[in-house]
Structure 1
Amino acid sequence: MHENASFPARVTVLRLGHRPGRDDRMTTHVALTARALGAERALLVGDTTGSRDTVRDITDRFGGPFAVDVVDEWRPVLRDWDGVVVHLTMYGEPVQNVEGAVRSAVLDRSEPLLVVVGSQKVPFEVYDAADWNVAVTNQPHSEVAGLAVFLDRLFEGSELAREWTDAEKRVVPMETGKRVVDAGEE
C-alpha cells in the first residue's frame, strides 16, 4: 500500500510480453508510467533486466515507493492473483463505462488491482481471466497512453499531487525551462 494516504489502492502493472531490441524503450515507459501515475509495482516479463534497472535507477533518484521486478512467466502471476484483474485492450469495454465499477472494487473494497498491459498479440486466456477488459478508445494506440489514461481515471487525478519519499532529486515545476534540484533544496 502506498504510504501517501491519497493512494489507498494496491496497483500492480503486469507488462505482458517483451520483444528484445524492439520493445526495450516501450517496456521501460510502461513501468515509468505505472510509477508516475499511482501504481506501487510493475512486473516485467522476459528479458527485461535493462528496463528494470532503468526504472530502479529513476526510483532511487526521484523517490518512491515503487518496486519493479522481472518474472519469467506471466501465467502464474495471472493465475495466482488474489484481487481484481483489468486487461487494457482496444477491444474492451470503454473505460468511461466501467471506471466507476473498477474504482469501487479497488478503492472502496480495498482489493488489490493487477493491470495487464500487452505487447505482442495477447492470448485469449488473458481476456478470459480478466474481471474487466478495458479500452481507452477502440482505436489502435500506445499501451503507455492507455495505461496513463486508465490510471488517471482510476485515481481521478489525485495521483498528480503524489508525494515521493526518499528522493535524491526533485523536479521544480516551471513555466519554461528545466530545473532539477537535490531533494530538500528549493
Structure 2
Amino acid sequence: MHNEPEVAVLRYGHRPGRDDRMTTHVGLTARALGADRVILPDNAGHSMETVEDITGRFGGPFEVELTEALNGVIRNWEGRVVHLTMYGERVQDVEADIREAHAEEPLLVVVGGEKVPFEVYEGADWNVGVTNQPHSEVAGLAVFLDRLFDGRELDREWEDAENRVVPMATGKKVVPADEE
C-alpha cells in the first residue's frame, strides 16, 4: 500500500462536544484501514491528539493535521475526490473505477459530519453510498477503504510501534513491539 499514491481522509465538519468520539473514530479508522493521513477541522484538536497518541503507541506511518479551509482542501486537491454519502452511487458499482484512478493519482476521501454543502457534492469526482441507508460515517469509511484496498490493509505491517496486539481467540494481550 505504501508504493501507491496517497490516500487522505478529510473529516468535513465537527461539532465539539457532539462529534468528538465520531471524529476521533474517523481518524482511527482511516489509520487502521490503510489511509496515509487524516485532515480534521481546526476545532477537532482533541481528536487529533488522540489519533496521534494511538499512532505513537501502535505504529504508523500515519499523519494527522488540522485545517480551517475544508473547502480549500477539496478544491486544491491534486488527485481525485471521493465523497462518502448515503445519496451517492453504490460503492459496488464504482469501486473498480476508483481503484483504477487511485493506481495513478492520490485520492481524497471526504467523510461528512454535519450537513454537507452542495459544493462538496459538486467538487467530488464520485459521490459514493455504502448501502444508501442512514448509518455511521465510520462504518461507511471502513467499508470503502476495505473495498479500495481489496483487503490488503488487513495484513499491514506497522512501523515504529511501542506496542503490538497479539491476536488471540479469547483474552487480550498487548506486548512491547520488539517482543516476539
TM-score by length of 2: 0.98
- Summarize the alignment of residues 37-56 of structure 1 with structure 2, pairs less than 5 Å apart: 37-56=33-52
Aligned pairs, how many?
A: 180
Report how far residue 9 of structure 1 moved.
3.4
Alpha-carbon displacement from aligned partner over 1:49-97 (angstroms, at most 9, x marks no partner):
1000000000001000000011112011111101000000000000000
Residue 173 of structure 1, CA deviation: 0.2
Local SS of the residue matching 1:18: coil
When normalised by structure 1's length, the TM-score is 0.95
Deviation at 1:15, TM superposition (A): 0.1
Q: Which one of 63, 68, 71 corresponds to residue 67 of structure 1?
A: 63
Task: Output the CA distance in 1 between the equivalents of 2:118 and 2:176.
Answer: 47
Matches of 1:150 and 1:9, distance apart in 2? 17
Match of 1:119 among 113, 130, 147: 113
Query: Within the alignment, does 1:144 sit opposite 2:145 as a pair?
Result: no
The partner residue of 1:171 within 134, 154, 165 is 165
The SS at the match of 2:47 is helix
2:85 maps to which residue? 89
- Percent identity over the alignment is 69
Contact 1:136 1:149 in 2 (8 A): yes
The residue aligned with 1:128 is 122
Gaps of 5+ in 2: none
Q: Which amino acid aligns with 2:178?
A: G
Structure 2 residue matching 1:58: 3-state secondary structure? helix
- Say whether 1:180 aligns with 2:174: yes
Deviation at 1:46?
2.9
Deviations 1:122-180 (A, max 9, x none): 00000000000000011000000000000000000000000000000000000000000
> Equivalent residue of 1:88, what SS?
strand
After TM superposition, which residue ranges in structure 1, 4 or more long, deviate above 2 angstroms? Answer: none
Q: Match for residue 11 of structure 1?
A: 7
RMSD across aligned C-alpha pairs, in angstroms?
0.9
Name the amino acid aligned to 1:56: E
Q: Residue 28 of structure 2: which of 26, 32, 38 is its match?
A: 32
Aligned to 1:14, what secondary structure does the other structure show? strand
**Residue number in structure 2 paired with 1:154:** 148
For the residue of structure 1 that corresponds to 2:164, the secondary structure is strand
